[in-house]
Amino acid sequence: MLLIPAIDIIDGKCVKKFEGLFETTEYYSESPINTVRLLRKENFKTIHITDLDGAVRGDMRNYEVIKQITKCVDIPIQLGGGIRDFDTAKKVITELGVYRIVLGTAAISNPDLVKEIIKEFGSSKIIIGIDEKDNKVMMDGWVNSYPCTILDFAFMMKDFGVKRIIYQDISRVGSLNGPNLERLKEIGDKVKIKLTSAGGIRDYRDLKSLQGLEVFGVDSVVVSRALYENKFPCQNIWREAERQDTSLELPSVC
């Protein structure tokens, strides 16, 4: 089970959101770059970044910050938020060197874009984000819904050549109430596609539960609040090591 830390960016800052509501946004860090450097030091293998301003407004608003992030780390980055056309997708893949992009709203409003990206860059460069609320596919930064069931949308994306979906129940985002295991199981069982879980992770017990869904294609999980709030036992070791050994600090490369 690959554990992927998430960095959500609003106004150039690292934030957390609860249940998809912007009025409940709280700031974790003034510097996403410092956060990325810390996560890299803790040996994570990839990082998930969302430009939340871009997700709502339809174009990337934190491009320069994300550009600096990509220069700071030597691990793959997957990026979503505000990628609504082919030129933007090409730019973040070729200029930023982003490993793969996450499409949500664009996959709904412009499904031909999904086919175009796969044709140009291959299926490994794209993930489709399915954000659910009351069995509806949410779009525009979770503001509006698309009249399509979760399964129908997943089947449609698979037919386009998509190989992976990142799924989250937005009512659980930032809640520490656990992921929607039943929905993940349903998607994996019926659609037969690789799945990344996101939203709701509270501690290592949820990771164990997700590990039990590997037979349904769940092989990775995006974690945000639980990591930032040190909900895992190993993080106590990291924090103590940081206090005792300054040699653990990464060189300043940003």
Strands 2-10 and 218-223: parallel
- Residue extents of the structural domains in the chain: 2-247
CB 117 within 8 A of CB 101: yes
DSSP summary character for residue 214:
G
Mean pLDDT of 222-248: 67
Is residue 239 over pLDDT 60? no
Residue 252 pLDDT class (50, 70, 90 cuts): very low
Is residue 1 over pLDDT 80? yes
Note if 59 is an active site residue.
Answer: no
Residue 113 pLDDT class (50, 70, 90 cuts): very high
Catalytic option among 51, 131, 169, 206:
131
**Could you tell me what percent of the chain has a pLDDT over 70?**
86
What's the count of helices (H) and strands (E) in the chain, helices before strands?
11, 12
Note if 8 is an active site residue.
Answer: yes
Identify the three-state secondary structure at position 5: strand
pLDDT at 155: 96
Residue 251 pLDDT class (50, 70, 90 cuts): very low
> Tokens for 198?
């996101």
Catalytic option among 8, 51, 53, 206:
8
Pick the CATH number of 2-247 from 3.60.40.10, 3.20.20.70, 3.90.1150.10, 3.30.930.10: 3.20.20.70
pLDDT at 146: 85
Round to whole Å and give the CA distance between 26 and 40: 23
**Could you tell me what percent of the chain has a pLDDT over 90?**
50
CB 234 within 8 A of CB 43: no
- Model confidence over 15-53: pLDDT tens digits? 875 554 455 556 667 788 888 888 888 888 899 999 988
